[in-house]
Structure 1
Amino acid sequence: MNLKGKCIVITGASGGIGKEIAEKAADKGACVVLLARSIDKLETIKLELNSKYGNSAFAYQLDVADPGQIQSVFSEIFAAVGEIDILVNNAGFGLFSHAHEADLQVTKAMFDVNVIGLIGCTQMVLPSMIKRKSGHIINVASQAGKIATPKSSVYSATKFAVLGYSNSLRLELSEHNVYVTTVNPGPIETNFFNIADEQGTYVKSMKRFMLKPDFVAGKVVDAMMTNKREINLPGWMNLGGIFYTLFPRTFEALGQKAFFKK
């Protein structure tokens, strides 16, 4: 799909795959709108993109956990750029802990960012997309939304929620020619694990299997404005998810040792 002139809004764009998606989309001629809590980082990225590609890049500070901010910031975006063609809901965080040790405040924060914030941003762009019968919602979920593992109970719950919401939304929007894609990656080599894996044990055991942000971002940008249902990475992990769905007890028995490496 030719992205030239398309307006793409990306949450969690201050680093990781969000930043990489912005760069790859700008390289294809898209107007990119960068959203994150860290406005200093966003401004730096915006200047780099405008200097490198000569495209229109915008940056707005947004905490997706704040519904009031979502409303006001998206109003500013519409006033500045007009219609939004693609929304990439990338903002999210996780924290590995045993279920009985999970802090309820952190649990609420995780749902506020990973689920409620995603829904809030999506609701802001849907009316216009439905009216125009054109648009694309891309929700970054996780393989953790397909395979639940120890010490990921809350994080997995948020990603299962994202997949459920996306699947329902896809059906609702099918008659309006608005696409919904979920991105379900395994572990990615980003600063996500600075918070999620405080002990560093998971990163140490999984480092050789970690995906590169650039690779994941490329797959996401290639799928823009196409009716792709899911992007599952890496392929072998997705096969594990299929096996898990069909034979959950067997999968858990065989994978138990690996699951407890967090």
Structure 2
Amino acid sequence: MNDRIKGKNIIITGASGGIGERMALKVAENGGNLALIARRLPRLEELKQTIEDRFQSKVEIYPLDVSDYEEIPGVFQKILNDFGKVHGLINNAGFGIFKEAHEVPFAEVKGMFEVNVLGLMACTGEVLSHMREQGNGHIINIASQAGKFATPKSSAYSASKHAVLGYTNSLRMEAARYGVKVTAVNPGPIATDFFSIADESGTYVKNVEKWMLKPDFVAEKVVDALFTNRREINLPRWMNAGSVVYQLIPSFVEKVGNKLFFKK
């Protein structure tokens, strides 16, 4: 059991599936208490029951679409009332759609920014003053390698994750003065139902399936970083190396990798 996590109260958004669900189980396994947020109430109820059957952690569920900004303050106030203190927030809610820029309806672009960026910022805003006042806390934002290395068919999604990284990097410097830690997580493709929306044709999954990250592996890396000074988690390492090379010689990478990048 991780003593840094034991007894701590942690909020996870997008908790009803994928790495959100796996992170919740890992936190509970390490003795942390959980406030779980997601749109799908039945999935949250199932997860709550699983955690209560297997662990001693306190767990409460809060159905919420993080793009419903007017609802966020009330939900977070209820969490504070239920738990007293919030020690950690993992902003995991998000989605992507892989299409060329001219094919993406503006409504889908707007939806990605509302959830991936504005929802994340709104949720963070609801805990930030609380964490500053108590002099500690940890905010973890799930971004993406796409935010560091944009490729074709992910223009809007990459833009939203670029925004998450910009926000996270600024927030980290601001929050450090008050004892609040901030970490960005940049995974490559993960084998979850994310791709049921992002890749309706199945082409991308088929092309990269053998390289996709396992959700339990990603969840373990994130939960292990809770309440540490980890600045970023970049997975897998080889993909992050590609992002670094891209920053150094972007024109070369775009020219050499162009055909491969279109395999989404």
Code of the residue aligned with 1:124 in structure 2: it is E
Shift of 1:133: 1.2
Q: SS of the counterpart of 1:33? A: strand
User: Residues 113-159 of structure 1, C-alpha deviation per residue, up to 9 Å, x if partnerless?
Assistant: 00000000000000011111100000000000001000100000000
TM-score by length of 2: 0.98
For the residues of structure 1 that align with 2:120 and 2:194, how far apart are their CA atoms?
17
Moved more, 156-165 or 92-101: 92-101
Correspondence 1:70-149 to 2 at 5 A = 70-149=72-151
For the residues of structure 2 that align with 1:189 and 1:226, how far apart are their CA atoms?
26
Match of 1:12 among 11, 14, 29: 14
Structure 1 unaligned segments of length 5 or more: list them: none
Q: Which runs of 4+ in 1 moved over 2 A?
A: none
Query: What is the count of residue pairs matched by the alignment?
Result: 262
TM-score by length of 1: 0.99
User: Residues 196-250 of structure 1, C-alpha deviation per residue, up to 9 Å, x if partnerless?
Assistant: 0011110000000000000000000000000100000000000000000000001
For the residues of structure 2 that align with 1:189 and 1:111, how far apart are their CA atoms?
23
**Aligned match of 2:59:** 57
**Aligned match of 2:219:** 217
Correspondence 1:94-243 to 2 at 5 A = 94-243=96-245
Shift of 1:189: 0.1
The answer on whether the counterparts of 2:4 and 2:226 sit within 8 Å (CA) in structure 1 is: no
Using the aligned pairs only, state the percent identity. Answer: 55
Shift of 1:176: 0.9
The answer on whether the counterparts of 2:95 and 2:198 sit within 8 Å (CA) in structure 1 is: yes
**Aligned match of 1:259:** 261
For the residues of structure 1 that align with 2:115 and 2:4, how far apart are their CA atoms?
31
The answer on whether the counterparts of 2:98 and 2:153 sit within 8 Å (CA) in structure 1 is: yes
Code of the residue aligned with 1:207 in structure 2: it is E
Shift of 1:18: 0.3
Shift of 1:55: 1.4
The answer on whether the counterparts of 2:69 and 2:119 sit within 8 Å (CA) in structure 1 is: yes
Shift of 1:75: 1.1
**Alignment RMSD:** 0.7
Code of the residue aligned with 1:193 in structure 2: it is F
Match of 1:32 among 31, 34, 43: 34
For the residues of structure 1 that align with 2:256 and 2:235, how far apart are their CA atoms?
21
Structure 2 unaligned segments of length 5 or more: list them: none
Q: SS of the counterpart of 1:257? A: helix
User: Residues 173-205 of structure 1, C-alpha deviation per residue, up to 9 Å, x if partnerless?
Assistant: 111111100000000000000000011110000
